[in-house]
Amino acid sequence: MGRIDKGEKCSVSGCKKEAARSITAEKCKSAGLDVNTLEKRAYICKDHYKEFKKKTKKDKTLDKWRYG
């Protein structure tokens, strides 16, 4: 049983929702999310994960073209 199943809250400042995903804190900060964590992992809710995907879509396609 992981931390999300145990009821971890979203790591983004000002958000009190339940976490749905865990992503490295470094990637979240580079995507522009204001993450309040001292750990390596950041836990984000569905809404912030959707925002994260939109902001990192361009980087993912560039990596796919480069290595694909």
Say how many residues make up the chain: 68
The predicted structure's pLDDT at residue 35? 93
Tokens 């000002």 locate to 14
pLDDT digits (tens, 9 = 90+) for 1-48: 799 999 999 999 999 999 999 999 999 999 999 998 889 999 999 999
The predicted structure's pLDDT at residue 47? 96
Instruction: Name the band, by pLDDT with cuts 50, 70 and 90, for residue 68.
Output: confident
Q: Are 11 and 43 in contact (CB under 8 A)?
A: yes
Instruction: Name the band, by pLDDT with cuts 50, 70 and 90, for residue 56.
Output: very high
Q: Considering the entire predicted model, what is its pTM?
A: 0.86
CA atoms of 32 and 35, how far apart (whole Å): 9
